[in-house]
Amino acid sequence: MMFLKNPLGEYKGVYLAQTTSKEILARREISGGVVTSIACYILKKNFSDAVVAVKRTRGIEGTIILARTCEEVIEAAGSKWTLVPYMKALRDTIIEENIRRVTVIGLPCQINFLRQMKEFPLLETDFGDRVRFLIGLFCIGTFAHEVFKSFMRSMYGVKPSEIEDVKILGDKLLVYVSDGGIVKVPVAEALKYLQTGCLLCPDYTAVSSDISAGVLPDMPHYTVVITRTSVGQKLFERAIADNVIKAKPLDEKLLEKLKRRALSKMHRAEKYAMQFM
């Protein structure tokens, strides 16, 4: 019941924000470019030695990267719809390259795992003490690769090799294909092709992060930012003070819509969990 009363989890503030960088604005996708700008800010101010993110390689596929420069962060920006083998690659990279302070941008499931590792280390091989900031991304789920590609081919005539990118806008998935066209797929129709674990996950806004970020359909070219911890709030305020981003409190109407989206994922998880009982 606690989550039903507070579906966004604990937080300091909720904001509507946008980057001030012309370069990031020019290259942004359907967002306000805030996560990219904050990641660049962290590196420029030497708050972390590197930023871990997932870079799209082809279509909906991606790979984990360790960004040490703003240029590398910008190259990794954008939506990814696949669950990349993450923790082992993350640990190996951090240990092998002796990264002492790292910022991680990840999905709610990944952020929750890292938060537990950071707060309750169990093994000497844990690297939670090296994690400086956790930035979580709003998430409805990631697709089961082969099943989703088969769905696109059978229902929309799109071959896997033709899929260049997938973005979400409101209740539609925008599937960009190699001939320059865009295939619009209802989100409700595509949800059945998510990973099973995603269907059971109740966390839409990455409640274990320092800063959460995502997009609402009503304001597609802005980023909704949730500051959750003192370090997250301080980082966000410093980025505003240094004119890296601009922000204002999210109005009550949009806040209620965000809560409804978070509740929707909780109810979905409850529904699918009942099927396994």
Q: Are 231 and 135 part of one and the same domain?
A: yes
Residue 23 and residue 104 share a domain: yes
Same domain, 133 and 230: yes
- 152 near 175, Cβ under 8 Å? yes
Task: Kindly report the CATH number assigned to the domain that includes residue 154.
Answer: 3.10.450.750
Q: At 80, is the pLDDT very low, low, confident or very high (cuts 50, 70, 90)?
A: low
pLDDT > 70? residue 139: yes
Taking only the tens place, the pLDDT of each residue in 224-270 is 999 999 999 999 999 999 999 999 999 999 999 999 999 999 999 99
CB 242 within 8 A of CB 43: no
- Together in a domain, 108 and 62: yes
**Angle at CA 70, nearest 5°, toward 208 and 127?**
40
Residue 32 has pLDDT above 90, yes or no: no
Amino acid code (one letter) for 158? V
Instruction: Domain count for the chain, please give it.
Output: 2
Q: Residues 24, 35: contact at Cβ < 8 Å?
A: no
| The pLDDT of residue 199 is above 80 | yes
**48 and 90 share a domain?**
yes
* Average pLDDT taken over every residue of the chain: 86
Task: Report percent pLDDT > 90 for the chain.
Answer: 47
Kindly report the pTM of this predicted structure. Answer: 0.87
The domain in which residue 233 lies consists of: 11-139+204-274
Average the pLDDT over 117-126 and give the result. Answer: 73
Q: Is residue 2 very low, low, confident or very high in pLDDT (cuts 50, 70, 90)?
A: very low
Lowest mean pLDDT among 6-20, 77-91, 149-163, 239-253: 77-91
Asked if residue 20 and residue 154 are part of one domain, the reply reads no
Whether residues 121 and 240 fall in one domain: yes
User: 99 and 209, same structural domain?
Assistant: yes
Among 176, 194, 212, give the residue marking a domain's end: 194
The helix/strand count (H/E) of the chain reads as: 11, 11
Summarize the chain as % helix, strand, coil (round to 5).
40, 25, 35
Query: Which tokens go with 205?
Result: 């806004």
- Cα 24 to Cα 34: distance, rounded to the nearest angstrom: 9
The residue among 1, 142, 5 whose CA lies nearest residue 80 is: 142
